[in-house]
Amino acid sequence: MRTPVRVRELTAQEAEAVKRLAHSRTEPVRRVERAKIVWLSQAGKLVPAIAAELHLTAATVRAWLKRFNAQVLPGLEDAARSGRPTTYTAEEVGQVVAAALTNPQRLGLPFASWTLDRLEAYLNETKGIAIKRTRIDDILLAEGLRWRKHETWFGERVDPEFAEKRGASPDSTRSRRREA
């Protein structure tokens, strides 16, 4: 028969922290549940009773009690997980950011500002980085760069010869009467 797993003797500070966490309404539910496991064990309940009360398996309760005994309060946190490996290298991310910060005309391109579509085409065709526009947006946001959604007509025009190219206003436009 296996030895029952119990929480070790808690100091006054640990007991207060576990109690506060176990009764919290604002902490993440996982941390609260884990603190309840420790709190109920400290109150003298055995693993099967704790598992039944919290609707968990006995193995889960034992695992969290062992982890708490080994790591104390940090043992109630989620452990780091490996996750999916990065898709783009740091060098590729650097090229994306550098291209976004470079004036397209300096690169010999026929436009004066980037859009996500233009940046995607440039990176795919010229730099050889297979990247979608949504990922470009994610990278730029992660670097603290905010993307301008629309070009505005306020301020200096992108094309200095805009007025000559546009021509005069059409005759059909009536002039506004000035009010006194």
pLDDT in tens, 100-150: 999 999 999 888 888 889 999 999 999 999 999 999 999 998 888 876 655
CA distance 65 to 37: 7
List the domain boundaries for the chain.
Answer: 12-76, 84-145
d(CA 35, CA 90): 39
Q: What is the pLDDT of residue 157?
A: 53
Verdict on whether the full-model pTM lies above 0.95: no
Asked if residue 30 lies in contact with residue 77, where contact means CB atoms within 8 angstroms, the answer is no
pLDDT tens per residue, range 90-109: 999 999 999 999 999 999 98
Backbone angles phi, psi at 121, to 5 degrees: -60, -45
Q: Which CATH architecture has domain 12-76?
A: Orthogonal Bundle (1.10)
Q: What is the per-residue DSSP string for 29-95?
A: HHHHHHHHHHHHHHTT--HHHHHHHHT--HHHHHHHHHHHHHHSGGGGSPPP---SPPSS-HHHHHH
Identify the pLDDT of residue 127. 92
Q: Is the pLDDT of residue 162 over 90?
A: no
